């Protein structure tokens, strides 16, 4: 299977010479991110790409995300200072920030927290009204223009902004056939985008929020492909859980027979360096082992110092992937990466046919129990493992004739009883 490469276009790569070199390397899709592209620049960017490449273009919507507006240079928020939050168009400063869309301000209430950018400032709302809000800086930090803002509790926002709607209309007129829905929260969001694009267009749903993970099955089934944005996802869930989310979403996408892509921080160091770290190469290999269909380069090709070099590095890792060392002969291979907490199938051993059938039957029953436990306790955090039947328990019949079994489950809080319906 060919691993596809999606490149995000930006100031470093939106040039004829760079686009031509990326096209020579077999890039499969060029991505235009509306979060960093104005409506006035959209049509010229599409015409520029089409003038030097036949590679398809994907329009990536802004989606249901809160962002700050344009900021003055070198704005740093200081702890315990007060900041005004407004929807008015203004240049942000240490005294006032503009938030978009304006509907996010209406959801703010005293006690709400706002985290700006990945390592930026943390604010807490002290006063709020429909026109704006006042917040105090809990943790200081530097804030740059057009950065993502995470609000807790999260506001309910429309899946598409006014800018998205106008950009989709422009893209339809220009014959764009690939569209990405940012911050897809449910299958209905995907259906809304599908109703606005051509009938044969490819809709890529981006799972990058807690709601998206919760409704991943409906989102995956409603789209032609799914994209995991690890960066934005890490703003809503603990960063140490993101690798497990990635594995489970990829596994679900493969079950639905949908192409799955992974974005963010694949080669982040190549934004400012010409060589990646070993950890980044290892991350790409592990992502390939997870069953990904394509890799998305974002900042690496949009604002990096060497967009073509970043693509070359991804191609080198992909080329080396089939030639990975084989398991030494005579050693039993370990369980697959996606079998977290699942008992591996027992190997055949010498014995009577009846004994072997009993062994396989026992394994199947245990496997069913483990699958049910993970579905209820959370497949995206595979830290729970069935350790055995509870002492003195016995299988009983439920009213719908299914089997109820009491088992013991081991996890981070120790052992706990759990009843499984088979």
**What three-state secondary structure class fits 340?**
coil
Question: Residue 392, by phi and psi: left (phi above 0), alpha (psi -120 to 50) or beta?
Answer: left
Q: What is the CATH number of domain 66-152?
A: 2.40.33.10
Query: How much is the average pLDDT of 315-344?
Result: 55
- Measured distance CA(37)–CA(385) in Å, rounded: 46
Q: Which pLDDT value is given to residue 333? A: 41
Q: Where in the chain is CATH 3.20.20.60?
A: 4-64+161-322
Q: pLDDT digits over 96-112, tens only?
A: 999 988 888 888 889 99
Of the candidates 189, 246, 244, the residue with the CA atom closest to the CA atom of residue 222:
189
- Measured distance CA(33)–CA(323) in Å, rounded: 35
Q: Which pLDDT value is given to residue 408? A: 52
Sequence length of the chain is 422
Q: Judge contact between 293 and 3, C-beta under 8 A.
A: yes
State the Cα angle at 201 between 298 and 21, rounded to 5°.
40
**268 alpha carbon, distance to own chain's centre:** 16
Phi, psi of 227 (to 5 degrees): -125, 130
Range with the poorest average pLDDT among 65-79, 144-158, 261-275, 316-330: 316-330
Q: Which pLDDT value is given to residue 89? A: 84
Kindly report the three-state secondary structure assignment for every residue of 344-399: CCCCCCCCCHHHHHHHHHHHHHHHHHHHHHHHHHCCCCCCCEEEEECCCCCCEECC
- Measured distance CA(256)–CA(207) in Å, rounded: 15
Q: Where in the chain is CATH 2.40.33.10?
A: 66-152
CATH 3.30.2350.10 fits 4-64+161-322, yes or no: no
Q: pLDDT digits over 366-397, tens only?
A: 555 555 545 444 443 344 444 444 444 444 43
* Residue environment code for 182-197, b if the CB has 16+ CB neighbours within 10 A, otherwise e: bbbbebebbeebbebb
Q: Judge contact between 197 and 203, C-beta under 8 A.
A: yes
- Measured distance CA(370)–CA(382) in Å, rounded: 11
Q: pLDDT digits over 47-90, tens only?
A: 999 999 999 999 999 998 898 888 998 888 999 999 999 888 88
- Measured distance CA(281)–CA(59) in Å, rounded: 28
What average pLDDT does the chain have?
82
- Measured distance CA(108)–CA(112) in Å, rounded: 6
Q: pLDDT digits over 203-248, tens only?
A: 999 999 999 999 999 999 999 999 999 999 998 888 999 999 999 9
Of the candidates 420, 387, 386, 390, the residue with the CA atom closest to the CA atom of residue 405:
420
Q: How far is CA 190 from CA 137, 343, 363, 367, in A?
A: 36, 36, 40, 34
Kindly give, in sequence order, each residue whose CB lies less than 8 Å from that of residue 187, ignoring residues fewer than 6 positions away.
Answer: 215, 218, 219, 221, 222
* Residue environment code for 321-351, b if the CB has 16+ CB neighbours within 10 A, otherwise e: eeeeeeeeeeeeeeeeeeebbbeeeeeeeee
Kindly give, in sequence order, each residue whose CB lies less than 8 Å from that of residue 328, ignoring residues fewer than 6 positions away.
Answer: none
Q: pLDDT digits over 3-57, tens only?
A: 999 999 999 999 999 999 999 999 999 999 999 999 999 999 999 999 999 999 9
- Measured distance CA(210)–CA(186) in Å, rounded: 11
Q: pLDDT digits over 279-329, tens only?
A: 999 999 999 999 999 999 999 999 999 999 999 999 999 998 875 444 444
């Amino acid at each position: 299977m060919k691993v596809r490469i999606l490149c995000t276009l930006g100031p470093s790569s939106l040039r004829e010479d760079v686009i031509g070199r990326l096209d020579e390397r077999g890039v499969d899709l060029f991505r235009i991110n509306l979060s960093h592209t104005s409506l006035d620049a959209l049509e010229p960017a599409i015409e520029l790409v089409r003038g030097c490449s036949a590679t398809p273009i994907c329009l990536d919507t802004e989606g249901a995300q809160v962002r700050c507006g344009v900021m003055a240079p070198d704005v740093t928020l200081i702890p315990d200072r007060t900041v005004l939050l407004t929807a008015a168009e203004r240049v942000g400063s240490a005294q006032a920030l503009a938030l978009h869309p304006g509907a996010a301000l209406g959801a703010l209430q005293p006690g709400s927290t706002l985290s700006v950018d990945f390592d930026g400032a943390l604010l807490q709302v002290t006063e709020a009204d429909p026109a704006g809000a006042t917040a105090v800086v809990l943790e200081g930090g530097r804030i740059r223009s057009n950065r993502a803002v995470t609000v807790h509790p999260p506001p309910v926002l429309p899946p598409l902004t006014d800018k998205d709607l106008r950009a989709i209309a422009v893209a339809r007129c220009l014959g764009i056939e690939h569209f990405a829905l940012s911050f897809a929260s449910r299958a209905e969001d995907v259906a809304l985008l599908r109703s606005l694009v051509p009938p044969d267009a490819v809709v890529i749903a981006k799972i990058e929020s807690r709601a998206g993970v919760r409704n991943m099955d409906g989102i995956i089934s409603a789209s032609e492909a799914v994209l995991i944005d690890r960066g934005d996802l890490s703003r809503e869930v603990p960063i140490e859980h993101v690798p497990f989310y990635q594995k489970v979403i990829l596994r679900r996408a493969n079950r639905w027979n949908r192409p799955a892509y992974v974005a963010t921080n694949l080669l982040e160091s190549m934004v400012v360096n010409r060589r990646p770290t070993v950890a980044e190469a290892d991350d790409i290999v592990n992502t390939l082992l997870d069953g990904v269909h394509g890799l998305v380069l974002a900042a690496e090709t949009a604002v990096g110092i060497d967009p073509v070099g970043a693509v070359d590095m991804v191609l080198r890792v992909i080329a080396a992937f089939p030639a990975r060392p084989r398991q030494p002969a005579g050693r039993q291979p370990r369980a697959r990466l996606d079998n977290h907490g699942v008992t591996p199938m027992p190997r055949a051993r010498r014995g009577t046919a009846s004994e072997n059938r009993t062994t396989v039957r026992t394994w199947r029953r245990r496997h069913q129990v483990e699958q049910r436990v993970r579905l209820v306790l959370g497949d995206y955090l595979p830290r729970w493992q069935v350790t055995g039947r509870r002492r003195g328990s016995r299988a009983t019949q439920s009213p719908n004739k299914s089997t109820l079994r009491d088992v013991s489950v081991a996890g981070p809080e120790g052992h706990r009883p759990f009843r499984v319906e088979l």
